Structure 1
Amino acid sequence: MTLLPRQPGRILGRGTWRESRYVADILRQETVGGALLLIAAVVAIIWANSPWRDAYTGLRDLTIGPHSLHLDLTLGQWAADGLLAVFFLVAGIELKREFVAGDLADRRKAALPIVAAACGVAVPAILYVVTAALVASGDDANQLSAIMRGWAIPTATDIAFALAVLAVIGTHLPSGLRSFLLTLAVVDDLIAITIIAVFYTESLNLLWLAAAIVPLAAWRFLLQRKITNPFILAVPGILAWAFVHSSGIHATVAGVLLGLLVPVNRAVEDDPDQHSLAERLEHKIRPFSAGFAVPVFAFFAAGVTIVGGGFTAALTDPAALGVIIGLVLGKPIGIFVSTWAMSRFTRAELDSELAWTDVFGLSLLAGVGFTVSLLIGDLAFGVGSERDDYVKFAILFGSLVASLLAAIVLRLRNRVYRRIHEEESRDTDRDGVPDVYEGKGQSD
C-alpha cells in the first residue's frame, strides 16, 4: 500500500491518513469538551442573572491558598491561573509536534497558517482600537487609555468551541479544512500567550523566573528518560507553575513552556503504527483539559449579569463594541484575505477539492472567541469590574454571531460534500485505509 502525500503547491489540501486520524481523534475529544464548555457557560450566566447571583459571586471570589507563597487566590483566579495552565500545556505539546513533525515543520506548508493566524490577530486588534476610539471619542485620555487595554481580547480563537461547531455542522467537509483550523488555532494560541506574557505582565521578578529553570529542566530530563508517571511529573510541573506565577508573568505561560519541552521524534511521529511520547502524553492530559479544566474556567469566567440594564449598557460600551466588531468582522477579514493573498501572490493554489466559500466559512468560524478572550478580558479590566462584565457579554455575543454565520455558510457547503465524501470513503480492498489515501492500482 502506498499512501499519497499532499500535492505540492496546494493550500488546504488533504493530509495523510495519519493526519486525518489524528484530526478525527482531536475532534471527538474537543467536541465533548466544547459541549461541556457550553453547558458550564450557560449555567454560569443563568446563575449570575438569578436572584441567587450573590452566591455565584461569593463562590467565584472565595479565597483559598497560602498567603506566604503568594498563592492566596480566589477560585476564579485558581481556574484562570491554574486550570488554564493545563489547557496551555496541551497547546504547547501540539505546537511542538506541529513544528517538528507537522505542517509547521515544512516552511512552505507553515507559511499559510502562520500568516493567516498573524493577520487573524492583527486585524481584530486594529478594528478594536478604531471602534473603541470612535465610540469613546468624548472620553478623557485616562479613560481612553484604560479602554485600549482590551485590544487583544478579540484576537483569540477558541478551538474547543470552534471544533464543536465544526463537528456538528461540517460532518462531511474536507479534512484539509479541519487540519487548517487546528494548525491555525495552535499558532493563534502561541501568539495569545506571547501577548499575555509581554503586554499583561505588571511586574517581573527575575529571581523567581530564573528559579523556574530548575523544575523545567527536571521535567525535560524525566521525559527524556521516558518517565511518564503523572505523580512524578506533577512535581516539577507544579513547581515550574508556582515559580512562574511568583515571577509576575501569568502562570499559564508555564504550561506552554512545559509543553514545548516535551521531546518529539519526527520518525516516530511519521510512523502510523507507533505512538510517540508526545502523543501519549497529550492523550493523557487532553481529556482532563477539555473535560474539566476549561469548563471549570468557563463557569467562573462567563458569569456576567445582564439583567437590570446590563444588556443595553454592554452594547453601548466602547470596549464591548470593539470586541464584537473584532470577532465578527476582524477575524474573518484577517484570515480570509491573507489566505486569498497567499494564493494570489505566490505559486500556491487552493486545493482542487475546495472552494473559496469553504475558506470564508472557516474564517467566520475563527471568530468564535471564548476561553483565551475571557482570560485576556480579566487581565485587561479586572475580574468583577463593570467593564469586564461588558466585555464578557461582548465575547459571548460576538462568538454566538460568528458561529451562526459560519453555520449558515458551512452547512450549505456540507451538503455539497456529503455525496462526494460517501464515494471517496469506500475501502474496497478492506485494509482499513480509505482508497482516496492510497495510490491507484497499488496494493501492499
Structure 2
Amino acid sequence: MKSPFDLIKNYWVDLLFVAVSVALARYPEVPRFLSFINGFLISFLVWFSLVRYSFENTPVFSLHNSYKYLAYTSTIAGTLIIRLVSRELGGHVAPFFLPIALISMLISKEFALRIAVFLSVLYAYSTGFSMVDFGFALASSVVTAISTHDVSRRLDLARSAIFVSIISGIFFVFQSLLIGKPLNVIILGSTLIAPLIWSIVTVGILPYVEYASMIYSNIDLMELGNLNNPLLKNLSLKAPGTYYHSTIVANLAEAAAQKIGANAVLTRVASYFHDIGKAKRPYFYTENIGDDDLNPHDEIAPKLSHLIIQDHVKTGLEMAKKHRLPLLIQDVIPQHHGTRVQKYFYHKSKGAGEKLSESEFQYSGPKPQFKEAGIIMLADSVEAAVRSLKKPTPSRLKNLVQEIVFSIYNEGELDESGLTLRDLEIIIEEFTKVLVSMMKSRIEYP
C-alpha cells in the first residue's frame, strides 16, 4: 500500500493544480482555512475519481503531453474567468461555455464532461456549495460538452450556443419557480444571451489555442484540408500520382472512420498529408512513374532503394513540423507505415544473392497508436494494391481488401491502434463499397 508521501511524490502536479483551482474559485477573496480545506478535499476527490483517470485511459494523453497542458491551462483559465465574471455580473452569465467548448472540440466529449463536473464543483464552492448554483453550472456545462464535440463549422458552434442558451433559460425559469422568486426578465435575457457571446469569444481565441498547442478542432482541420494548402499544392505539382493516391486514400479512410465512430474529419485530412514527403523525389515512387518511363530502382541496389523510399517519412515529418501541422497528422506520417517490411526490395535483394535480413528493409515505425492512423495504414495499402488489379469485380475487390487487411493485422501492426476485429470487418465492407463505386465503369460483372 502506498504511503501519503508516495502519493504526494507521484501526484504533486495534480495536488498543486487542484489547490490553485480552489484558490482561484474564490479569488480575490482569501477563504478561511477550514473552508479552503473542505473545497480542496471535495475538488480533489472529483479530480482524481473522474478527471485524472482519463489521463491514463485516453489515448491522446499518452501520445502527447500537449493534451495534458491544454487540459490544465483551459481548466485553470476557465476557473478564473468564471469567477471574475460571476462575481461582477452574476453566475447566470458565467462563461462555462468557453473552457468546456474548447476542451470538447480539441480533446474529447468524454473528457469535457468530466471537466464539466469539476468546474461545477468549483463554482458551487465559490457560492457556498449552493446546490442550485451547482445544478445550473452542471446543466449548461454538460449541454455544452455534448453539443460542441463534433462541430466542423463555425455555424455549428453558433447552433450549439443557441441550444445551451435555451437549456440555461429553462433552468433559470425552473429555478425561479422552485425557490418562489418572481421571474426577473432582465436576468433571464442576459442568461439567454451569454452563451451566444461566449461562443463568439470561443471562435475568436480558438485559432490561437490551436496554433500554440498544435491540437486542432474539426473546424480548422476542415480549413487545413483545403486542397489549395501550400503543402498539398506543392504535392499536386511535383508528385501528381501521389496527390491522386492521397485523395483516394482519403475517400477510403473517411468512409471507414465514419462507420466505426472514429474522427472522420481528422482521418480525411491526415490522409491528404500522409505522403507529403514524396514531393522531394517523386520519380522514385511507382504512382509517379509513367508506363513508358524507366524505373530508377532498376539501376540501383535494393538496399539503397529502401533507404530512398523510407526517406519520404523523415522528409514528410520535417515538412509537417515546419508548417506546424496538427500533432496527430504529424503522427500519421510515420505510423501509416508502422514497422512493415518493404517486401519487394527485400525479395529483390534475396534474388540478387545479398545476405540481408528482413529487419534491414523495415520502416522505423512506430506502429499506429490510434484508430485513425490504423485506418490510414489499411487504406494506403489497399489503394496501392487495387491500382494494379486487372479486370476488377466486386468479389475480387472484396477478397483483395480482406487479404490485405488481415495480412497487416496478422503482422501485428494494428496491435496498438485500438482497432478491434469487429472494426476490421466494418472497414473491409466500407473499403469494398467505396472501391466498387469508384471502379464501376471498369468492373466486369459476371
* TM-score of the alignment, normalized to the shorter chain, above 0.5: no
Superposition TM-score tier, normalisation by shorter sequence? under 0.3
Higher Cα Rg, which structure: 2
TM value normalised by structure 2 = 0.23
Relative contact order (C-alpha < 8 Å, sep 6+): which is higher? 1
